[in-house]
Structure 1
Amino acid sequence: MTRNMLSRAVLLAGIPLFLAGCEVGPKDITQTGHRGTGMVQLADKSRIPPPDRMPGETYRDIVLDPNDLGPPAGEFYENIQVLNDLSTEEFNRLMIAITEWVSPEQGCNYCHNPENMASDEVYTKVVARKMLQMNRAINVNWAGHVKQTGVTCYTCHRGQPVPAYYWTTDPSATARMGILGNRRGQNNPDKPSAVYSSLPYDPFTAYLKERDPTERNIRVAGTTAYPVAGAQGATLANTEMTYGFMMHFSDSLGVNCTFCHNTHSFSDWSGSTVQRETSWYGIRMVRDSNENYITPLTSVFPANRLGAAGDPFKINCTTCHQGKNKPLGGMSMIGDFPELARIPPPPAPTTAALPAQPAG
């Protein structure tokens, strides 16, 4: 054997040891489908997130007397625009909870002028009002995703005024020429949004912002044997964008692809798990929240709450999940606040008395 051949043999023999070094440590393995289908969840025990820290929950010490809830909050307080269907006592209790969920260090003054609580001069109060509308809309309209667990402000905020995880449009993720060539918004493996891969690193603008379903289909498999001119489908660009988005999904929930898909056919719904349907609703829920509740606040936010492209901080899967397939490990606080799972009907229109019609 020549020296060159010996060197190659040593190199090849060392590759498994090198790769094994990337996967050392005990694993949790859970079979999620039929044997032989590869439907297995594999988790590195050293990377399993610790139990979530729950809020102090001082609101649990407040016991409401159903026979003495006080007058409607909208009649007792000034400028109540969203929670005017609550009683005064329910309203006060929810305000205490929101302070714990969002601004435990800053207190009520994070949103209010203490000398005039009804004033909207503090921009965060305007934002909070819209976020409460979004919170209720998620629990009522998107039960296909949040089920009966629901969400509260704490699901995203975790005791911080600004959630730890958000996204904004990356202005660099566009096709552009330079000394390094045209990256086309990818081939930049230092971006956490695509889990440090070379895939497109701003899939969120394409999939979690636009409401128009014709903008971009999430596809990796075509429906025909050959490409069809002008048809939306599994183009190479769409496939790469989809994989970048799916990398975000996997990382956000701390799961493998087989949590939702059967690798026999990623596109086949009949072989997928029920979690794929839940995720389908989740994508649309996040898109609805970004477009209808967060983006309209663009002019309200100061410059330090906007991204490089001038858009506000928006939500994605990580905002709520933070490495777990169920946010907060499945803990629900919505049972303590059923008022966050209902949307009051709009007030009945008042009909002014019509003038008497002349006879004849």
Structure 2
Amino acid sequence: MHRSCIVAAAFGLALGVAGSAANAQTYLPSECSIEMGEWAFTPVVLEISGVRAVEAFLALRDHATLVGDNIGSVLYVRDTGPTGGWSSFGWATQDQWAAIEWVKAEFSIAASHDALWQTTQAAPSTPAAPATPDAFDDGVLESNPLAAVATPSPEWDAIVELLENAGWQTADIPSEESAAETTCPNDPVVGVLAQIVDAVEGGQDVEDAMSDAWDSFLGCLPFCIPMTAHGLPGPVSCGAPGPYGPPVQFPTGPYVYCDYSRTRTCTQSRGAGTIHWDCSLTICLQSRTRTETQTQRCDDSGTLYNGPGIGADPCPATPTCFGATQGGVFTPTSSTSWSGWTPTCP
């Protein structure tokens, strides 16, 4: 990233975002996420009148792979100036939810979108306190003494990788790879990611979005960096519900209620694409499932009276009080969380 721009952006980011929000613009995390090695990039998109464009990426490393003081959260924010570059920030804390909460606060993103942040760290029972990031460039934080000698080069990339493996406070993140090896302006790797997400959010399928994005940079970027991009989830499709299970009896005062439950399985699909070092592209279809449950209650007080000295009759094995409409229309009363997306795109 551009170190000369980062310090100014670090103090101006909150002001710039707040000003945009005041103009009835909405920020939210996109469902079109991108994986690069151990890092997952969640795009933050700006939506205006139904049109979305990438304004930032929150990159989170697989939390289980962090060693020592490794940096596990990095934020890229699109510059507002005419250069069209990106400013970058990192967190000293390894609590990725503290980083997420800071991004949510800066962009006014609701907690209802929490499931879209691509972190492998379990969410806390109560929201984490937001942690303020530091300027970040070439794999190190601006406050790190190493920042004085950091320079975009393959040799420095190798040093950062070595330090990261030893547990130092560095991040060998693919989006920082070998800036010296390219003649592209304005941070080409992050630019590729943004172009992919913008195209997918605009309705393009993930295969064409990835091909077009890399083609536009191959004139100045002599290699492709392996990554997997996920398209937007398609519509939810639910199967027919199964039969009602055994009843559950609930005596309440002089009456007895009988609860009957049935379930159905719902499926959702999305496209995904993986680009390799040789710029070849692999496309796959992924899916996930969840189980929805419908519980309905019968009040057969005439036959299940539970008065003084009168025991309640057992609930009928099959419902007797559902009308044709009530018993035939499936209205879920609870649902499991979505399973993970499978299979992994090679």
Calculate the TM-score normalised by the size of structure 2. Answer: 0.19
Calculate the TM-score normalised by the size of structure 1. Answer: 0.19
Higher relative contact order (CA 8 A, sep 6+): 1
Structure with the larger helix share: 1
Structure with the larger strand share: 2
